[in-house]
Amino acid sequence: LEKHLNLSAKKKESHLQEADTQIDREHQNFYEASLEYVFKIQEVQEKKKFEFVEPLLSFLQGLFTFYHEGYELAQEFAPYKQQLQFNLQNTRNNFESTRQEVERLMQRMKSANQDYRPPSQWTMEGYLYVQEKRPLGFTWIKHYCTYDKGSKTFTMSVSEMKSSGKMNGLVTSSPEMFKLKSCIRRKTDSIDKRFCFDIEVVERHGIITLQAFSEANRKLWLEAMDGKEP
């Protein structure tokens, strides 16, 4: 993904379209594989409810058939066996209906032709790359950002991977909080990065340049922030 984001906006349009197509295809393949994995896990968990008990019930039924000495015990077991059969049938029926519902949901999610954004307390949230000035030029740092449209509050926290010591894994710093003044889409020919937009905040002078992960993702941020065209 970072290699895709680092493509120069000055490359040929055909090359950029090919790169976009490839990342969309890889994203779709990963998305479908994830859905298949969740579907299989759910299927295994549901099958556990009856696939163990059914063979045990069959064994007991065979035992009572071949041994007349167990007749009285079988008579005592009959009400429990009938109730168990009834419960097993209900469990199997529930499994089939749940399985069909999950399959339909999976197909709907596969066919959805838009970025999915789950319900949240924020108008918009997600990862963005933030351009930061350094002594020898600029660098792009990954942040986790949120925006609340009602209060125009924008926050961003540096996210980085730690591979040693006590802090192992994804580490997020304390968030910086700003009040949004304006948001403008960045012209493609004005920067050597794709999917960029600029924001102005009350707490800082100048602009903050942000890079989204895709054109669709940038549109969601611009829509949430009432972004303008340059």
> What's the confidence (pLDDT) of residue 119?
61
17 vs 1 pLDDT, higher one = 17
Nearest to 155 by CA among 185, 118, 130: 130
Crossing angle of helices 53-66/13-51, nearest 10°?
30
Checking if the pLDDT of 163 tops 70, the result is no
Q: Is residue 219 pLDDT above 70, yes or no?
A: yes
140-156 burial, b for 16+ CB within 10 Å, e for fewer?
A: beebbbbbbeeebbbbb
Sign of the CA dihedral with 210 first, then 181, 219, and 34 last? positive
Where is pLDDT greater, at 172 or 78?
78
String of DSSP letters for 173-195: PPPEEEEEEEEEEPPGGGSSSSS
From its phi and psi, is residue 195 left (phi > 0), alpha (psi between -120 and 50) or beta? left
Q: What is the mean pLDDT of residues 187-198?
A: 92
| 110 compared with 139, residue with greater pLDDT | 139
Q: Give residue 70's Cα distance to chain centre.
A: 56
Give me the mean pLDDT over the 211-221 stretch.
94
Q: Which of 226, 180, 175, 219 is nearest to 200 (CA)?
A: 180
The span from the CA of 221 to the CA of 125, in Å, is 8
* Rounded Cα–Cα distance for residues 178 and 121 (Å): 17
pLDDT digits over 10-54, tens only? 666 777 777 778 877 888 888 888 888 988 888 888 888 788 888
pLDDT tens profile 128-153: 999 998 888 889 999 999 999 999 99
Question: Hunting for tokens 């968030």 — which residue is that?
Answer: 175
Q: How confident is the model at residue 167 (pLDDT cuts 50, 70, 90)?
A: very low
Give me the residues paired with residue 200 across strands. Answer: 182
Interval 202-212: pLDDT, tens: 999 999 999 99
Is the confidence at residue 101, as pLDDT, over 70? yes
Higher pLDDT residue, 12 or 91?
91
pLDDT, the chain, mean: 83
DSSP character at residue 70? G
Residue 203 class from Cβ within 10 Å (0-12 exposed, 13-18 middle, 19+ buried)?
A: exposed
pTM of the entire structure? 0.55
Winning range, highest mean pLDDT, from 52-56, 88-92, 201-205: 201-205
Specify the DSSP element, H or E, that contains 160.
strand 153-163
Report the pLDDT value the prediction gives residue 11, as an integer from 0 to 100.
62
